Amino acid sequence: MSNFPGANGAAAMSPPAFRADALAGVRTRRILALCVDLIIVSIIALVLWLALLVMTLGLSLFLLPPIYPLVAFFYNGLTVSGRKMGTPGMRMMDLEMRLYDSGGRVPFINAAAHALFFYLSWMLPPIFLVTLVDQEKRCVHDMLAGVVVLRRL
């Protein structure tokens, strides 16, 4: 007996089907949500940067470059894995993130990995074009993290 679907001659499990209205306008809303979230993360990172700069009398200038990625990592991980299942920008655009296979709440590690994969995908921008051909309008970083972004209905 195997843990893999279809290994014993049984039909392979098909991916879940999402309602068309849950996917309508998701790409545009995601871009707008990203703009809002980048502003929020930038403000949080700036406040932390200034606080560390003052508290260490300028000695933290050597430690400050990784502040923005760390803030983005925890911002996405904590807000998406929370009970509202989305960042403030996503909630403003009526979006939520769910696990692709079960539709349940996204755990912190998946949400944080999603942020990491998203920021790494900026090194190869054409990879964002995958969303134009994917049926569920998912990006590569969504597929790697095992999540899907849907409209709240």
Record the pTM: 0.78
Q: Are 151 and 22 a contacting pair, CB within 8 Å?
A: yes
99-147 confidence digits (pLDDT tens):
888 888 899 999 999 988 988 888 888 888 888 888 778 889 888 999 9
Distance of CA 35 to the CA centre of its chain: 13
pLDDT at 44: 95
Among all chains, which residue has been given the structure tokens 């790494």?
120
Sign of CA dihedral 52, 55, 57, 60: negative
Name the residue type at position 36: V
Among residues of the chain, what percentage have pLDDT more than 90?
30
86-96 confidence digits (pLDDT tens):
999 999 999 99
SS3 of 98, please? strand
Phi, psi of 96 (to 5 degrees): -145, 155
Separation between Cα atoms, residue 132 and residue 146, nearest integer Å? 18
